[in-house]
Structure 1
């Protein structure tokens, strides 16, 4: 072949036929993804907050068990502490996984957020039940329901963001850009 317009540059092969008539096409690659992982980062950030709150809840439950070892609340504090530990562990592991772009992190955030939603709903139901038992509806309901609904926003948002299609697409390996073929 003759040298191209620049030294060391070879001319590109040219086919006068359109690709449908037998010209060789370069190998096709999938189009690059337009997702940058913003939903994954947002879900990981919310999961970090859930993990922090779960850790604080676990520490409070342990302090209650240590402070009152013969109390009748020992069993309930143990259950609350175990649930908070599971929520904290799953949420923190999921947040780290999402920051590292791991699909397992997404699953951990989904499970941890679901447990947090269940924990808050049970807290609200128990608060409602204790208000009827103690016949002190106004103070207990004033504390339980508004704070429960406010705290429900964080795990539901983390759950929605982690389940979103863009989070899954952001966790996929990045595809390199398609090569430029001058002459096509």
Structure 2
């Protein structure tokens, strides 16, 4: 299972993360987020897919950051339409569409995105656009019958590995961790991430 660590900001923290078997690193380009990197310098990363997270941003602005930060993936965490996703996808970036899930969510609403995104990110519906630190009911995933692989996000913490391994879904591609592994917003606890990955992969 692939691992994404989102909300990174500190260059030294990024370098420490690179030593772990992590596949994706997420940078948030959203001024309202405590983990926003819009005013930060580009941190060096080696061998990781670089994901830029945007919320209801114009495609021209997104592509500016894609070029400046050499992003390989764009995660759209707002109310972006299938046509906006498709337009970006045609610009040679991988598109991840975040979806806020609660007990009332209808997965059939995602059918219109089937031809315009590469992955979904199933996150918990909460007060913030991500980073709420709470998990939705993962049994709800049984209702997802789509063909697009997904990242599981929302409230995952150090002791979640066993529950994640119990999720038997053919489209579960990766886990996406963030706030529950932080010492402070944007500063990750590397040892906790290391322990979590070990438990998940063994």
TM-score range, shorter chain: under 0.3
Q: Flag the structure with higher strand content.
A: 2
Q: TM-score, normalised by structure 2?
A: 0.20
Which has the higher Rg, Structure 1 or Structure 2? 1
Q: Flag the structure with higher helix content.
A: 1
Q: Which has the higher contact order (CA 8 A, sep 6+)?
A: 1
Q: TM-score, normalised by structure 1?
A: 0.22
